[in-house]
Amino acid sequence: MQIVRCLNRSAFYPSGGGWTEGTGSADSQSMLYFAKLIVLILCGVLLGESRKPRKGRWTAEAQVQKISYSYKKNYDMTKTWPGSSKRLLRVEDHDFSMRPAFGGPAIPVGVDVQVENLDSISEVNMDFTMTLYLRHYWKDERLSFPSRTNRSMTFDGRLVKKIWVPDIFFVHSKRSFIHDTTTDNIMLRVFPDGHVLYSTRITVTAMCNMDFSRFPLDSQTCSLELENAYTDEDLMLYWKNGTESLKTDEKISLSQFLIQKFHTTSRLAFYSSTGRYNRLYINFILRRHIFFFLLQTYFPATLMVMLSWVSFWIDHRAVPARVSLGITIVLTMSTIITGVNASMPGVSYIKAVDIYLWVSFVFVFLSVIEYAAVNYLATVQERKEQEKFPCMGGISTKGMTIDGIYSELDAGSPEGDPKNQMVSEVTEEDKQEKMVIHLTMSNESNSSKKKGLKEHVSLRIIQNTHAIDKYSSIFLLFCGWVLFGECKANGKEIHEVYKKGSQPQRQRRETHGATHKQGSPILKRSPDITKSPLIKSEQLLKIDDHDFSMRPGFGGPSIPVGVDVQVESLDSISEVDMDFTMTLYLRHYWKDERLSFPSTNNQSMTFDGRLVKKIWVPDMFFVHSKRSFIHDTTTDNGHCNSNV
């Protein structure tokens, strides 16, 4: 302030009409003050720069902290809720054993599926195992909560047991479970307006009715069926995105099958005792790889047939060689047939591989029968020659036939006959004498031999065993070509006949439920004041006012309990364990006045399995049962329907 005042003074100091002599000294003082001001500014700048942090190893940390603040979400009170999820979602204020909007129109529940893996296909058990992600989408206004940013909240599986979820189950499933490593593979996401996403990771083993009439050139179509325990008046189950609701992993592969196509369908299933239900289908087509069966079945069977034809070029007198070859090939073919049938179910119709193997087995068997015929004709021929020349019996162990080929001593020689054992004990000298006698007699009866020779030549085609082997090989080769062509044509005809015969069965299955069309009117029920979500089932049914550990009408007459059963599938029958496995729907009907409630439209109320644990139910069991269980995927497959 002092500097400024001095400058003001020196700038305006007039004397007469011009400047005074003190003007030069005032300018020099102002320049001095300006220099001091500039020095002070420079010192301040240097001091400020010296206090800034140096760029070094702490620079990156400062930048990371700065960047991390830029990625923070906007503040939302629902994300930092000081209380529990029960207080936020008001779980204790509602009865979640009843569906949303109970008494109103059917609640739509969308479904989409992502197939993670197709684990195995079993032809023996006629089933398949699949691992998938099953997701449900619905709206429950009881779960709505206030939010500023309209963002969802994600919970684990513990909250699922406290709210209402669609109890979807798998029809015709043998085994199913929800993965629980490292925790239950369940995700629940709730939006502020009450929309809910419920996702689970499930592995299910289900039936697949396979047709093996063209095995191993067959293609199989399998289906995984999803259904819920609520009728179409209470819940409408549908594919959320139509045909795009099913996603598959591109890495899915099977050793024996090629997965051709995945697609979805939906129908209505009708049960006479309970009503109509929405049912969703996951269909996939499998085509079998043929190369494995070519190497393991077709090529070995073909080589065995060709090997059996080798016996036609072996001398018929080599009995051990031809018999052992034929029997070995027959046993080998039997082993191949047994191995193929061991990996297949015991179906009652003919498969394509059965036709091929049994035709091959017939060829091998005919080759053995052919040698038996050749050996028999050769024996008959030699016996006839012995009858014409009786003096030759017992001369030598080898004899020359008419065609100049030496043959071993046959079974009709004196040495082979047990009745002439004394003749076989002659000495070598007696044999030589008999040979000389035979030569002299053969010279004298030369003319008679020529007549016999003509008769023998006329029958040579029949009696010559080499000609029989030759013609047998040609005949069997021709028959093989014809029969294999016929087998191929018959295989196609069998498939067409079976396909036509199975059409009525398919029609009967399709008439089990009409096709669900989009845009069909939703069956609505008139609202009922007793079905308000603000009233809990315990209060409505007065459960706390009664003791449900005793049967209805305790101390009075016996209570009638009606039962009906619907058999879903007969899974397996074991002769070894002498048991069977059956999947069924078991329904009980009785009257319990303690569960009566007021109503204006005389309509029933449907609850899930949680209410069953609080009331009395008939404790039925299966006599002589080894194992039994209630399915629990995706929830306990038990429901309670209470009438007025």
Show Cβ contacts of residue 36 under 8 Å, excluding neighbours closer than 6 positions: none
Tokens 């079945």 correspond to 297
pLDDT of residue 549: 79
In the chain, which residues have pLDDT < 70?
1-28, 48-87, 390-539, 602, 637-644
Instruction: Tell me the β-bridge partners of 190.
Output: 153, 196
Residue 455 contacts residue 294 (beta carbons within 8 Å): no
* Burial track 468-490 (b if 16+ CB lie within 10 A, e otherwise): bbeebbeebeeebeebbeeeeee
How many Å apart are CA 441 and CA 423, to the nearest integer? Answer: 21
- Say which amino acid occupies 480: G
The H-or-E segment that residue 301 falls in is helix 299-308
- Say which amino acid occupies 120: S
pLDDT of residue 450: 47
Token output for 516: 């669900």
**pTM score above 0.75:** no
Token output for 157: 């599986």
pLDDT of residue 97: 79
pLDDT of residue 51: 60
Residue 198 contacts residue 165 (beta carbons within 8 Å): yes
Residue 584 contacts residue 568 (beta carbons within 8 Å): yes
The DSSP secondary-structure symbol of 51 reads: H
How many Å apart are CA 442 and CA 429, to the nearest integer? Answer: 20
**Where do the domains of the chain lie, and which CATH numbers do they carry?**
107-289 (2.70.170.10), 293-383 (1.20.58.390), 536-614 (2.70.170.10)
Q: What is the 3-state secondary structure (H, E, C) of 84-112?
A: CHHHHHCHHHCCCCCCCCCCCCCEEEEEE
pLDDT of residue 391: 55
pLDDT of residue 80: 52
pLDDT of residue 597: 80
pLDDT of residue 29: 73
Residue 594 burial by Cβ neighbours in a 10 Å radius (0-12, 13-18, 19+): middle
pLDDT of residue 473: 65
- Which candidate, 120, 87, 321, places its Cα nearest to that of 204? 120
CA dihedral 460, 465, 469, 475 (to 10 degrees): 40
pLDDT of residue 169: 92
pLDDT of residue 345: 86
pLDDT of residue 643: 63
Residues present in the chain in total: 644
How many Å apart are CA 246 and CA 239, to the nearest integer? Answer: 9
The H-or-E segment that residue 537 falls in is helix 537-540
Residue 123 contacts residue 210 (beta carbons within 8 Å): yes
- Residue 221, number of CB atoms within 10 A of its CB: 14
The DSSP secondary-structure symbol of 472 reads: H
pLDDT of residue 536: 63
Q: What is the 3-state secondary structure (H, E, C) of 3-50?
A: HHHHHHHHHCCCECCECCCCHHHHHHHHHHHHHHHHHHHHHHHHHHHH
Residue 199 contacts residue 168 (beta carbons within 8 Å): no
User: Rounded to a whole number, what is the distance in angstroms from the first to the last CA of the chain?
Assistant: 97
- Which candidate, 424, 172, 163, 403, places its Cα nearest to that of 282? 172
- Which candidate, 288, 266, 294, 150, places its Cα nearest to that of 520? 266
pLDDT of residue 453: 45
